[in-house]
Each structure stands twice: as C-alpha cells, then as structure tokens.
Structure 1
Amino acid sequence: MISLPLFSLLTDVAVLAQHGPSDVLITGLTLDSREAGPGIAFCALRGTATDGHKFIEIAVGQGLAAVICEEFPATMNPATAYVLVKDSAEALAHMASAFHGHPSRQLQLVGITGTNGKTTCVTLLHKLLRELGYHAGLLSTVQNQIDEEVIPATHTTPDAIRLNALLARMVAAGCTHACMEVSSHAVAQHRVTGLRFVGGVFTNLTHDHLDYHGTFDNYLKAKKGFFDALPKTAFAITNADDKRGPVMLQNTAARRETYSLRGAATFRARLIANEVHGLHLEIDGREILFRLIGVFNAYNLLAVYGAAVLLGEDPMEVLTILSGLTTAPGRFEPVVSEKQRVTGIIDYAHTPDALENVLQTLHEIRQPSQQIITVVGCGGNRDAAKRPIMANLAARLSNKVILTADNPRFEDPLEILAQMQAGVTAPDAAKVQTVADRREAIRTAVALAGPDDIVLVVGKGHENYQEIRGVKAPFDDKLILTEIFAELNK
C-alpha cells in the first residue's frame, strides 16, 4: 500500500492556507465523499451538477486524513488536515501525479485532441508502437490497454486519480510509451494537469460539446489549452488544413509541426485513390496502399505518421506497418451480408462534421447504382443545436433515412426526433421516416436495402449499451446488424 506524507503530495500545489496537523500520512485520494476513510485525502471539487464542498462534513465524519478545498468549512476537526487552494481540481491532478510517482515522466506520452479522429489516431498509434516492438499503453474512448490487457473505458479521459493510476500500472508493466485521447472536458477540468507529454496532436475542430462549454470559443480554448501547457521539450503537430489548426500552435512552447493534404507542411500527403478496398496515398514522396477508407482517414494516417516520426521512428518502417493496420472498433467498421449482398457500416459519427465526412466517403467509393440508407439519432441531454443539422445532412446525402433513438438519457426520444425532423427540408421529406426503437430502425433499413446497397448505422459506434432514463441496457449496433443479417440469411 502506498503511504506518503501529505506535504510530499503538495510540492506542485499552490497552497493558500493550511489548518490542522501537517504530518498526516496519505494512503489514497478521492473526489467522492463516500470513499472517504482513514488515510484518505478528500478533494472537494466544484462540478456542474454538485459541489463537493457540501460533503466535507460527511467525509470528515468518516475519519479521513485530509481535506483539499477552495473554501474552509465553518467548523474544522482538529484531527484532520485542511488545505486551502485556488482550484481543487488542479490541486488534485498534481497530487494524483505525485501520489503515483509521476508516472507520465517515465513514459513517452503522446496526447491526441480534436473533435473527430482522436480514437482512430490513438488506436493506430498504439498498434504501430506495439508492432515496432515497444510495450505501450492506450487510453481511449473505446478501451484502455496495457500492452494486450484490455481495461474497460468509462470516459474519453478518466479523472486525474484513475488516469495516474493507469499510467502507473503501465510503468509497472514495463511500458515505455503511452498514447491517449485528450478531451476538451479533461483539459477544462484539469484531469491532464501535471502530466508530462512528449507530444501533442491536433486532428480538427467542429461543432460539439457546446452543452458543456457554452460557446464554440470556450470549446476551442479548452483544446488550445492542451497545447499551451506542452513543455518546450515536446512536439506539437497540427492539421494545417483545418482553419483552427494554426490557432492551436499560437502560444505553445513546444516544437511546432504541421501535416497537410492540400498545402505546405512538415508532413505532406497526396491522395491518389480512395476506393472500397482502401486508400492509395503518396506520403513524403513514397506511394503506399492503406487498408483504411476515406479522406478523413488519410488525415488520421498522416497525423499518426507524423507523430511517430517525431518520436524518432524510421519513416519507411512506420509507413510499412501503417499500411497493414485496421481502424478502431466502431469507426467506419464494415458488416457484410454475403447472401443479400448488402454492406453495413457502423460508425461513431455523432457530430455534423463527422456524419458529413462518413457520407461523403461513401459517395466517393460507391457505385452509381448503390443506395445509401442511413440510420441516425442524437443523444439526449447533450447539445441540441446539432439535431436538425444532423437530420438535414443525412437526408441530403442519403437515398433513404431512418431517424431513431440514440442514447436519449433523460429526454423524451420522440421530442429529440421531432427536433431532428425539423431540419429536414421539403425536397428530402419523402426520403425520411421515423422509427423510435433503434433495433427496429436498423431492421427497417436492412429491409429497404437491395443487392449491393449500403446500410450506414451511425452515432454509437463501439458503444455496447443504450441509456434510457438513467438505465444502461445492452445494445450493440454491430451485433444487432449482424443478427438481422443472419436472420435473413436463414
């Protein structure tokens, strides 16, 4: 069991005041008062739903060792250490890193951020590093990994305590490298504060998470904050073709690099062909065939290539390995019915830009006779502004559309669907129907498909559940589509 003096965890924390004993030993950290107990330091965080300061008295009553807070309580237990800080979340991140021995400093840690492409990029980079012979860790929306050991993921970026614990497990397992998705929430909530990154990658920035950030400018600043915090020893590589790409590098101390399909950049690619069997690209003067499909994946491959080269890897070896890799689960993932000759595509696209990219890719690779039948929904208790936009895009770029439930959470699915339907214009109205039950929506799309048609199911990707009224019930788009194909093949 780890047991460290409180003061040793506060080395990088700006302490405003202290009260009570200063020699307490800390055996664990928590931001949940229900986990408080002897030896535990409770960090009172101000969240969007609740304020941890309200639970300080309860936590102290459970015999904890220390309280980290932004405001001292009215009464204080003389046996408990109280530490006053400006920002509890920031303090927690530094303390979590120190508690686990600063594991990020013992890894070649690369962070990837952006609206779309994060999961594909970190998955490709992790696979690439493993193929290059390194022991490597992965932190992603789909799953966390320590080499081959899979650890379920609950958030794109875990809280600072769990994040540093995972990084420490990677170090203990002999990992030399780690790659992780860095969400805008993680930056804004200081989950990645205190970590030492050797590199940061920016994919793109489009409309998302405004339910949390409030404005697009706040969302942009959260992403940019990751690059602003990189040390001068790190590299920062950005998508030069995204209009916000150069913004990410404005204030970073890191080495600034770029990648592009359209103009001058450190790492350049030229699209030769984008076909159903994969991409044909010229990268830095070398022509390579890749198994991934779509222009968006050309950017993902180029970003990973650039990051690997900046890590010091041989360019030709990197390209050779990348050419044989497949995408992350639920990212443009095919499910084929041989008997019906129908191709299903499962994708996580849950933003307008991601949906448009997927549909444009299908238009680029399909034959003129092939129909695109799209099943799409929007999550509840999230950014509602994108709902009519998503439906409009699906209707314009598909032959047929089934609007359905995604994860309605605590919202009425029919109300979400009505908001989506409002985005469908008169010329496209005949293409669109609503089937609230997601399984039946997928079944309907398959029934509408003829030989060689494409059924696109978007929004949930790798997720294996559907959340309704706070309950997560098993639901896997890929599994359901596979089952429906099997039923029809009997």
Structure 2
Amino acid sequence: MNWNEVLREIETVKSAEAAALVDGVQYDSRRVGSGDLFVAMRGGTADGNQFIDRAIAQGATAVLTDSSEEYDRLRREHAETGVALVQHGRRAMAEASSAVFGHPEQHLALSGVTGTNGKTTTAFLLEAMLRSIGRRCVLIGTIETHIAGEVRESPHTTPESRDVLELFAEGVKAGATEAVMEMSSHALEQERVWGLPVDVAIFTNLTQDHLDYHGTMENYFAAKAQLFQGVGTPPPRVAVVNVDDPYGKRIAEAADRSQLIRYGLDPGADYSAEEISMRAGETRFRLQTPHGAVDIRSLLTGRVNIYNLLAAAASAHARGLTLEQIAAAAESGAQVRGRFEVVPSKSGFTVVVDYAHTDDALRNLIVLARELVRECGGRVITLFGCGGDRDRTKRPRMGRAAGEGSDLVVLTSDNPRGEDPMAIIAEALAGVQETGKQCIVEEDRARAIETAIHSAREGDIVLLAGKGHEKVQVLRSGPVPFDDVAVAARVLKGME
C-alpha cells in the first residue's frame, strides 16, 4: 500500500508525503521488518519514539509519531521516509492498521463483552452459539483466540489494535463473518479497540478490581461505559445489559441510542430465568423472552452461569439465532477452562478450579459450592491468594469473603510478581481472621493445594481459586510453569 494512501485514512497534525510503500504496521521496534510502518508513541512505562532510528535501520519505510521534535528531526534526517505527526498514537495506529490490513472490521459483525466477572464464559458461550449454526467466528479473549476454528493461546485479554486487526484479517480470509471479543477496562481506556464498529455490546457486572490502574470505581465504570458510547464509531446497534447490577442499570439508562435488551433474574428483565434447578455439572431453567420461552440445559454450574447464559442467549438472538437454536447450542456447549472446572477424581469429594480473583467472584463461587454440598452435609474448603503489584485494598475483602462462606480456608500465594508473598498473605489473612474461621497458611501453592485436598472428606467441595486457566505463576524472578488443574490431578491420583 502506498504511504500517501495510508495518510488519507489517519487523523494527523501534520504529515509529509513520500514514495514509500507500506506492507505492515508495527509498534514494537523488535518486530519491524522491511516495508513496515512504525508507530512511535509514548506509553505508561516507555516512549516508543526512542526506537525510531532502530526501526528505520531494520527497514521501516514510514513512521507515525506523537512527538513534534521527532517529526521535525525525521524530516531533516530521513527525507525519504514517510512521516506523520499525530495527537493520539493509539488512534492513529488503529486507523493505519485498518487501512493496511484491508479494513477487516468492516466484514465482521462484532460482539464486545465487558464487565468485571463473566466476560470469558459469556464470550465462549456466544461464540459457540454462533458456530452451532455454521457461522465462522473470530474469538479474542483471556484464555484463547479462535480464528475460524483454529485455537491459539491468548497473551492478553484484549490485544493492541494492530494485533486485533491482523487477527480479524486472518479471520476474514478464512471465511469468518462474526467476531466476539472480551473488552477489558484497560483496553477501552487505552483505546486498543478504537475504530471497531460494535454491533452487540454486552455488560456483565462491575465489582471492585483494577483500582491500582483506574484509581476509583467511577473511573473504572467510565472506562467500561465507553463501549456503549462508541469507540470512535457510532454506539452499538444493540446493548445487552445485566440490570440486576447497579452499574448495569446506569449503563441501561444511558444507552438511549442503542436497542436495549435487559437481562437478569429480577422482575422487569427482557431475558430472565424461571424454574431454575442446579447440581454439579448441570444447570436447567426456562428462558423467558419477549419472543417466547424455551427450556435451557447447560453443563455449566451455578447462578453466575445463569447470568452468563442469559447474556449469551440475548446476544445470540440479537445476531439472528432462534430460541430453539440457542437452547440446542447451550446444551452442547463445553466446559470453559478454569471456570468452575471440576478435576476428575474417585475420591468421593469434588475439587474445582476457578479463576475467581475478586472478592465478589470469590463470594459467588463459595455460595455456589455451598448450594452443591447442602444436601449431603459436606463442607466448603477454599484455597485462594491475592496477586502482587495490584489493588491492595481488595486483599482483606477477599479474606473476609473466603472466611464468611467457607468451613476451612487455605491461604497461599497467587501471582506475587514483585512483592513479598508473605506480605500479601498477611493483608489477606487479616480479613479471614475477622470471620473467626480456621485458616491454614502455606506460601507454596503446590503444597497448599495438597493440604486443601488432603483436608477434604467425602461430600466436601474443594475450591482452588484465583488462577483458573493460567499455566504459569508470576514470581519476582519471572514466570514459572504452574497449573492448578495439573497439580490437583497429581495429588488426587496419589490418593487412589
């Protein structure tokens, strides 16, 4: 693509035309190759402008910069290089990437999911429903990325816009017509999804998380709400909103330019669940909608997954599926990794791995476990830890949530990152101690899992919370391989 053609699609402060050809877009100078456009922008921890010369040396034919000084220097020293000065680096990267990759976002009907809890499961469910009737999809989320059936690991919940658009382009080439994305508050705030036309926007809930980044709940909410205002595009055609959540009610009130679909268990929701029955490995309810009712059976477990099923069902209906098609897809849907994932065993008790890493998610997980053991009189044993270099204020709250609902708490390390694991544990332990519940402290997560499982007896349920699908533990020295499911399976096998 000619640099001058790219320029016509970017909002610039000033620019210089050149005879350069642009074959790709990169924001990491280490990935720059011949014919690439290098996007140099200031970030939270580094300034990409300091790598401009390296990018040019590696073959970059054009540069987008948010530095007027670098723009002037490039005009003097690299007259043959295409250059543009932009006010918003990430917006310009999105605009340039869209142009270079052939505007793939215009060929996909995009559903975006945001909220604190439930994003991953809702996205998986919706994509499964769309695929069940033969539609090819792109899925971008926390656990996996899917490109028209091909499964890849996901390094981030929501990648940078350049990477999203490359994935979209691959999907379109493979015949995809739908895309489903988890959209994190960081991604919305940092404009990683800028310029993506969202057809269906989904709001699951909002509870305290990421305040180390956003500072306040209002800022956190404002970041999420951007999805429903439009991210450099018109507002979504349809807004699917959990109106049982107080922040969801605020989203619904403000979504006056979208077709609003309310879901929830409280009266007044457009999509609701009645005649609910639950047991481990199965949830049943009657889905009530303005368009009729249908019986839903799912292998997912618990009240929280009723919300996820309602969100996915409402969104799938907005994308043209019938209620009967939705019910069939819900019944055939597979387990989502690390989301109430039952580890197979012959022990007589149940071991569950779940990603719950906020006090609200942990409380919901424990409530579900309590419901499942009520009839047999079993106990709830909860293992959890708190992440390092993240919001410290939620640590005692997570401790209280674990202590209030559990019979036994095992407090351990999660992803301590740059912090002292025992200092993190001490802050969470204060919350557990307020409840007076028995608590075993074991810093080593593998030994803690072994302790939790060996503490169980027939009829109990052991919850291994916090890491879910993750395959590494992030220590001060860096990530090391670690898988809660694999560790639990090894302990259980040793007990046979």
TM-score category of the 2 structures, normalised to the smaller one: over 0.9
Is 1:121 aligned with 2:128?
Answer: no
Equivalence for 2:12: 15
Instruction: Describe how 1:393-404 pairs up with structure 2 within 5 A.
Output: 393-404=401-412
Structure 1 position 69 matched with structure 2 position 65: yes
Aligned-residue offset at 1:123: 0.7
- Identify the residue that residue 49 of structure 1 maps to in structure 2: 45
Question: Which residue in 1 is equivalent to 2:267?
Answer: 263
1:353 partner amino acid: D
Give the one of 433, 443, 447 matched to 2:440: 433
Residue 337 of structure 1 deviates from its aligned partner by 2.1
1:477 corresponds to 2:481: no
Report the CA distance shift for 1:321/1:38 in structure 2 as closer, same or farther (over 3 A): closer
Q: Aligned runs of 1:326-475 on 2, under 5 Å?
A: 326-338=334-346, 340-367=347-374, 369-429=377-437, 431-475=438-482
Instruction: Tell me which amino acid in the other structure corresponds to 1:201.
Output: I
In the TM superposition, residue 248 of structure 1 has moved relative to its aligned partner by 2.3
Q: Secondary structure at the match of 1:167?
A: helix
TM-score normalised by the chain length of structure 1: 0.94
- Whether the 8 Å contact between 2:297 and 2:330 is mirrored in structure 1 is no
What is the CA deviation profile of residues 120-158 of structure 1, one whole-angstrom value per residue up to 9, with x for unaligned ones?
A: 011111112222122222111001012331111000011
Within the candidate set 208, 221, 234, 1:231 is matched to 234
Deviates more, 1:113-122 or 1:382-391: 382-391
CA–CA separation in structure 2 for the residues paired with 1:183 and 1:328: 19
CA distance in 1, matches of 2:140, 2:420: 33
Shift of 1:251: 4.9
- TM-fit CA distance, 1:473: 1.3
Once residues 94 and 472 of structure 2 are traced to their aligned partners in structure 1, the CA distance between those partners, rounded to angstroms, is 30
Q: Does 1:29 align with 2:25?
A: yes
When structure 1 is superposed on structure 2, of 29-38 and 456-465 the one drifting more is 29-38
Residue 3 of structure 2 corresponds to residue 6 of structure 1:
yes
CA–CA distance in structure 2, aligned partners of residues 146 and 396 of structure 1? 42
Give the ranges of 4+ consecutive aligned residues of structure 1 lying more than 6 Å apart after TM superposition: none
When structure 1 is superposed on structure 2, of 87-96 and 249-258 the one drifting more is 249-258
Kept in 2: contact 1:402–1:434 (CA 8 A): yes
Partner of 2:312: 304
Number of matched pairs: 483
Q: 1:336 touches 1:342 (CA, 8 Å); kept in 2? A: no
Structure 2: which 5+ runs fail to align?
none
Q: What is the CA-CA distance between 1:82 and the residue it aligns to?
A: 2.1
Residue 98 of structure 1 corresponds to: 99
User: How much does 1:29 deviate?
Assistant: 1.1
Gaps of 5+ in 1: none
Alignment of 1:289 with 2:297, yes or no, is yes
Cα deviations by residue, 1:164-183 (Å, 9 ceiling, x for unpaired): 11111111111121211111
Alpha-carbon contact 2:205-2:245 (below 8 Å) kept: yes
- The answer to whether the Cα contact below 8 Å between 2:104 and 2:169 also exists between their aligned partners in 1 is yes
Name the amino acid aligned to 2:349. V
Partner in structure 1 of residue 249 of structure 2: 246
Which secondary structure state, in structure 1, belongs to the residue aligned with residue 450 of structure 2? helix
C-alpha displacement of 1:372: 0.9
Three-state SS of the structure 2 residue aligned to 1:305 is helix
Q: Distance in 2 between matches of 1:395 and 1:310?
A: 41
Find the counterpart in structure 1 of residue 163 from structure 2: 162
Q: What code does the residue aligned with 1:75 have?
A: R
Cα shift at 1:276: 2.6
Conserved? CA contact 2:161–2:193, under 8 Å: yes
CA distance in 1, matches of 2:494, 2:183: 40
Pick one of 469, 476, 486 that aligns with 2:493: 486
Task: Tell me if structure 2 keeps the 8 A contact 1:121–1:300.
Answer: yes
Distance 1:426 1:414 in 2: 18
Amino acid at match of 2:25: L
Determine whether 1:132 maps to 2:133.
Answer: yes
Q: Could you say which residue in structure 2 is the equivalent of 1:325?
A: 333
**Separation in 1 of the partners of 2:41 and 2:275?**
48
Q: How many Å separate the matches in 1 of 2:228 and 2:249? A: 11
Q: CA RMSD in A?
A: 1.8
Residue aligning to 1:173:
174
Q: Deviations over 1:353-385 (max 9, x none)?
A: 111110111112213521111110111111111
Identity over aligned residues, as a percent? 38
8 A Cα contact 1:124 1:327, kept in partner = no
The superposition leaves residues 429-482 of structure 1 with CA deviations (integer Å, 9 ceiling, x where unpaired) of 5x1121000000000001111112111001010011111124221111011100
After superposition, the C-alpha distances for 1:267-308 in whole angstroms (9 at most, x for unaligned) are 222252233342221212333333221111001000110001
| TM-score where L is the length of structure 2 | 0.93
Name the SS for the 1:15 alignment partner. Answer: coil
SS class of match (2:73): coil
**What is the DSSP-based 3-state SS (H/G/I as helix, E as strand, rest coil) of the residue aligned with 2:46?**
coil
**Hey, what's the Cα distance between the residues in 1 that align with 2:235 and 2:115?**
21
Cα 1:470–1:188, aligned 2, differ >3 Å: closer, same or farther?
farther
> Residue type of the partner of 1:27?
D
Q: Judging changes above 3 Å, is the alpha-carbon distance between structure 1 residues 247 and 457 closer, same or farther for their aligned structure 2 residues?
A: same
Report the residue type matching 1:289 in the other structure. Answer: R
Please state how far the C-alpha of 1:409 moved relative to its aligned partner.
1.2
Structure 1 distance, partners of 2:12, 2:281, is: 58
- State the 1:35 CA deviation: 2.8
